[in-house]
Structures are given as structure tokens and as C-alpha cells.
């Protein structure tokens, strides 16, 4: 009997170590990624959890999930607390897809919204490097992008005229880059 109790305790302890720090979450994934800044420039998923109203940037990877632009997802994911030591540039959690609850194509007329617009000409000079671009997100009221070297973001509100917006003060990164990128940034920001 003692042996059976010992075996039971051992199994319970063993199973609890496998599920330590794990929880299942319902997550919604928006139909488009947006530029964001992690360790370097990247594109992030936009997610919200079951009871959230606001979309937030998701800098992590969801193991087993293959995002397809233009589809809104409802997912069941397993979030596991990462074991120590956690690298400085890593999340405290690992995410793994358990189930795709729904995948819905979103076919709304976007116009210029949620499209990465790459600067190809400035002051009559062609630019082929793709280092300067903007994305206008109508839902969040933000304009974000890269001006040659640094990333920027600015909030906007539409004015009563359909063709006018009012912007708040922009903010962005302050990196130093190669001379060509710095010159492009200087010219881009002067307009």
C-alpha cells in the first residue's frame, strides 16, 4: 500500500511539472501584420484575447500557426511560461497552436489603408532600396513606417473633409545608419 501511495505521489508530481505555467487561451488574430520594432524592424501580428476590446502587437511566434494575410482568425493557443534563464530579447512565454476555431476571409475595401506603400521616387530621384515606406491603419488611427533609417509612428484623426487629417506629434527610433540611409531620411523628413 505504501508503495502504491508513493507511486501515486510520484506520478502527480511528474505530471504537474509538465503542465507548470501552462494555460489555454482564446486569441483573435487580425487579418494583417503591421511594422513594429523588436530587436530590429519586423512585422507583428495584431492580436486580442478573449475579453479584450483593443488590438495589441504580438512580437512572438505561435508554434504550428501559419498566418495568411486577409484572414481573421480565432485560435485556441497554449501559453507556457518559459524556463529560466530567459534571454533578454525573448518573451516570458511560449505559444503553441492547439486549434484554429475559425478562419474568416476579410474582404473589405481598403483603398490606401493597411497597405505598405514603398517610396520609389523623391525630389525627382528614383529610389530602389525599399528603405522608406508608410502604412496607414484606419482602424487604429496611426501612420507608421520607416523614413530611410528610423521607424516612426504618428496618431491621426480625420477632419470633416474626407481628404484631410490632423496628426499628433510623431515619435520614432533614433538610430544612426549608413550615410545613404541617413541622407534618404533627411530628404524624406524635410517634406
What is the SS3 assignment for 30? coil
Q: What's the pLDDT tens digit per position in 87-120? A: 777 788 999 999 999 999 987 666 777 788 888 8
Please, what is the Cα angle at 140 between 157 and 188, to 5 degrees?
A: 70
pTM of the prediction?
Answer: 0.50
pLDDT of residue 28: 96
> What's residue 76's pLDDT?
96
Q: What pLDDT, on the 0 to 100 scale, is given for residue 13?
A: 46
Q: How far apart are CA 157 and CA 165, in angstroms?
A: 6
pLDDT given for residue 5 in this prediction? 58
Q: What is the pLDDT of residue 17?
A: 47
What does the block give as the cell for 143? 501612420
Stretches in the chain below the pLDDT threshold 50: 9, 11-14, 16-17
In the chain, domain spans: 21-105, 117-190
Amino acid at each position: 500500500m505504501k508503495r502504491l501511495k508513493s507511486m501515486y505521489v510520484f506520478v502527480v508530481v511528474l505530471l504537474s511539472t509538465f503542465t507548470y505555467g501552462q494555460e489555454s487561451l482564446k486569441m483573435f488574430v487580425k487579418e494583417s501584420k503591421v511594422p513594429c520594432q523588436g530587436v530590429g524592424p519586423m512585422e507583428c501580428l495584431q492580436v486580442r484575447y478573449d475579453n479584450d476590446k483593443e488590438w495589441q502587437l504580438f512580437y512572438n511566434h505561435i508554434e504550428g500557426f501559419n498566418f495568411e494575410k486577409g484572414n481573421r482568425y480565432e485560435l485556441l493557443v497554449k501559453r507556457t511560461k518559459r524556463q529560466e534563464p530567459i534571454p533578454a530579447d525573448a518573451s516570458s512565454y511560449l505559444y503553441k497552436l492547439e486549434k484554429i476555431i475559425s478562419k474568416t476571409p476579410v474582404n473589405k475595401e481598403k483603398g490606401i489603408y493597411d497597405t505598405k506603400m514603398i517610396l520609389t521616387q523623391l525630389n525627382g530621384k528614383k529610389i530602389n532600396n525599399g528603405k522608406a515606406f508608410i502604412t496607414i491603419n484606419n482602424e487604429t488611427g496611426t501612420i507608421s513606417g520607416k523614413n530611410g533609417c528610423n521607424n516612426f509612428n504618428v496618431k491621426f484623426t480625420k477632419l470633416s473633409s474626407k481628404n484631410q487629417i490632423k496628426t499628433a506629434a510623431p515619435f520614432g527610433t533614433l538610430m544612426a545608419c549608413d550615410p545613404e540611409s541617413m541622407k534618404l531620411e533627411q530628404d524624406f523628413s524635410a517634406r
